Structure 1
Amino acid sequence: MILEVAILHVKKNQEIEFERDFALAGKHISSTTGYIRHTLQKCVEQSNKYLLLVEWNKLEDHTIGFRESDAYKDWKRLLHHYYDPFPVVEHFEMILTNP
Structure 2
Amino acid sequence: MASVPRIGAIASGDRPDCLLWIRETVMVVEYIRYKVPSTDAQTFEKDYATAGDILGMSEHCLSYELSRCVDEPGSYVVRIEWDSIDGHMQGFRHSDVFQRFFAVIRPYVNQIEEMRHYEPLSAH
TM-score range, shorter chain: 0.7 to 0.9
Query: How high is the TM-score relative to the length of structure 2?
Result: 0.70
Moved over 2 A (4+): 82-88
Where is the strand percentage greater, Structure 1 or Structure 2?
1
Query: How high is the TM-score relative to the length of structure 1?
Result: 0.85
Q: Which has the higher contact order (CA 8 A, sep 6+)?
A: 1
Kindly tell me: are residues 52 and 89 of structure 1, through their superposed partners in 2, closer, same or farther at Cα, counting changes over 3 Å?
Answer: same
Corresponding residue of 1:26? 52
Q: Distance in 2 between matches of 1:69 and 1:49?
A: 29
Percent of pairs with identical residues = 24
The number of aligned residues is 98
Kindly tell me: are residues 11 and 70 of structure 1, through their superposed partners in 2, closer, same or farther at Cα, counting changes over 3 Å?
Answer: farther
Corresponding residue of 1:40? 66
Superposed counterparts of 1:1-99, under 5 Å: 1-95=27-121, 97=122, 99=124
| Paired letter, 1:64 | Q
- Give unpaired runs (5+ residues) of structure 1: none
RMSD: 1.7
Which of the pair has more CA radius of gyration?
A: 2
